[in-house]
Structures are given as structure tokens and as C-alpha cells.
Chain A
């Protein structure tokens, strides 16, 4: 790294302010003014629209295996989703997914 101390703090400062402004944007500016019905309809899907797309590449091409498809991680991801949909409970889904991951890793290590 060849940045000066001032340059590093500039990066940190602008990233901090920028990230805050992104997070504050709509919440800060719109407040309790009414939003159009179709916008509200779109926003209802934010969580299911962002997270699956963010996670899918990590499931198919995990960084830890240098992007090689890994059946163990795929299985753990499937188990997490199925348990989450079935139980509607985040904690059970995490436990089920993590258990599947480690049990499957244990089994493949023994084989």
C-alpha cells in the first residue's frame, strides 16, 4: 500500500460519510410523506430481491474453494432455505444449515 496517512483517512472519511448518506437517503428525506402505491408495492420485495442475488454466487462458486462448485456447501444452502421456509424461523434455519454443513464436511472427510 503506497497511500499517505492523509490519503488513507480521506478514503475512510468519505466512505463513512457516503455510506451514511446512502443509508439515510430516503428515510431522512421522505419522512412521513406518502409514497405512491406502486412504489410501496415494489419496496415490499426489497429483502427477497437483494439477498438471494447477493448469496447465489457465493453458493455456486464459493471463495474458499477458489470458485469450484462444492456439493457440501450447496447442500447446506438448500437445507437452510428449506428449513427456513418450513419453520418460518431464522434460528432453526441457521442451526439446520450449519449442522448440515459440518456433518456433510465430516462425512466427506471420512470418505
Chain B
């Protein structure tokens, strides 16, 4: 076995991931801190707030659950709503299969644990741009992207719990998250089919915004994927 020669590209894929993941520290810091602050205000202990962050690692769902817990919703409803917010990640999971399905089960389990919006989109953009990547390189890259973000997500939650000071509204940090998400997705709009998918996603998403946690988004995403695929088929037929 000459595995030593294989190590170098996987290593460089890992570091490329670290570099591409680093900007998201900017987003992890304010939101993790805010979660720590709100969780403590809501009455969670340090262990409970940290348990939330470490076991769930999904910002939007954590905030949704906390909000419902403050309102003393039934446990079943808290769970249903928070898990509905995370259902989009089943789509992420499916879309990673063609790239990572061949990786060992334990590596797929690690990636599943770390599969949140930032790691997923950044990695898929790279996999699409470089179809020649090996499965090992792809795994290394994914873990690389997660490396700078995850410790800050955990650490800053703790700082928020202990220091307990929310960042002033005047900094408009609420809008850093939309900017980051738009910045991640805009470079991926590469064809008419992508434009169609994005347009359907926005219009259906806005139309169904009143639906309970996450369900409107699921319908929007499903119709948008269908729109993208259909336009792609249509373009292929026209070209041939």
C-alpha cells in the first residue's frame, strides 16, 4: 500500500476547506453569542445551553425551539417545529450522496453531524467546480470547512452564556446572515435552469411565509428543484 502518496492531496483539500470556511466565523460569532444570551435569559443552565449547541448545531432550529420553550409550548410541538426547520437538511443529505456516498460509514456519520448550511453549500460548490476530486479529498474538504466554524459556534455560545451581553441592534448584525447566505448562493447561479430554480424558490417562499416553521420553505425548495430540473431538460432538448 502506498497510502503515503495519497496523503498530500487530501491534506491540501483539508486546508483549502479551512480557508473557505474561515469567513463564516464572522457569522458564527454573533449568532452563537446571541444564542448563549437568550438561552440563559430563558432559564437554561450552562450545561443545557451548551448541550443544545453541541448536540443540535443548527442555529435556526435552536432559536425556534427556544422561542417556543419560552412560550411554554407542549414538548411535542417544540420538537415538531424545531425538527421541521431542519428538514431542509434531508435535501442536503440527499444531494451529497453522489459526491460522498462512497466514503466509509463513519466518515459519512461525521459529515452528517457537521452538515449545516455553511459547510454544505461551500462544499457542494467546490465539488461541482472540481469533478475530478477524489472521495477522500471531498471528505477532507468538508471537514476543513467545518474546522474554523464549529469551535467558534461552541465557544461563543459559552461566552454568550457567561458574559450575557447582546450586541447592540445598531450594528445591524441581523442582516449579516442573509448577506452570507446570498453570497454563498449567488456564485452558484450558472444557467437559466439555476435562475428558474432561484426565482421559484423566492416566489413560493414568499407566498407561503405564513405557514408553520419550515414547511413553506420545504414546498418552495421542492418546487424550485423541479423547476430547475425541468428547465435543464428543456434546454437540452432545444440544444440537440
Contacts and interface: CB of A to CB of B under 8 A. Distances in A.
Interface of A: 1-3, 7-16, 18-20, 22-28, 30-33, 35, 38-64, 73, 76-77, 80-85, 87-91, 93-94, 97-98, 101-102, 105
A18 B209 CA distance: 24
Interface residues on chain B, size class: 35 or more
Contact of B182 (A10, A30, A81, A102): A81
Nearest to B101: A32
Given A9-B51, A53-B220, A84-B186, A40 B75 contact: no
20 contacts: A1-B70, A23-B86, A23-B89, A23-B113, A25-B93, A26-B93, A41-B232, A42-B229, A47-B188, A48-B194, A49-B198, A50-B217, A52-B199, A54-B88, A56-B201, A83-B183, A84-B185, A90-B20, A90-B122, A93-B187
Nearest to B182: A80
B86 A1 contact: no
B186 A49 contact: no
Interface in B214-240: 217, 220-222, 224-229, 232-233
B43 interface: yes
B6 interface: no
Given A3-B69, A28-B108, A52 B113 contact: no
Interface stretch (B147-155, B158-166, B170-178): B170-178
A24 B93 CA distance: 6
B95 A43 contact: yes
Contacts of B182: 51-52, 55, 77, 80-81, 84, 93, 97
Contacts of A18: 79, 83, 86
A98 B178 CA distance: 10
A64 B174 CA distance: 7
Contact of B56 (A9, A15, A76, A80): A15
A44 B95 contact: yes
A47 B121 contact: yes
Given A49-B225, A53-B217, A55-B182, A11 B75 contact: yes
A23 B228 contact: no
Looking at chain B's contact residues, is the secondary structure mostly helix, strand, loop, or mixed? Answer: helix
Contacts of B70: 1
A73 B182 CA distance: 12
A15 B83 contact: yes
Contacts of A85: 186-187, 189
Contact of A43 (B42, B83, B98, B178): B98
Contacts of B113: 20, 23
**Which among A3, A7, A44, A48 has the greatest number of chain B C-beta atoms within 10 A?**
A48
A44 B184 CA distance: 15
B13 interface: no
B175 A27 contact: no
Given A8-B48, A27-B97, A94-B180, A52 B201 contact: yes
A17 to B, nearest CB: 8
A9 B55 CA distance: 11
Interface in B72-120: 72, 75, 78-79, 82-83, 86-98, 100-102, 105, 108-109, 111-113, 115, 117, 120
Interface string B198-211: 11111011100100
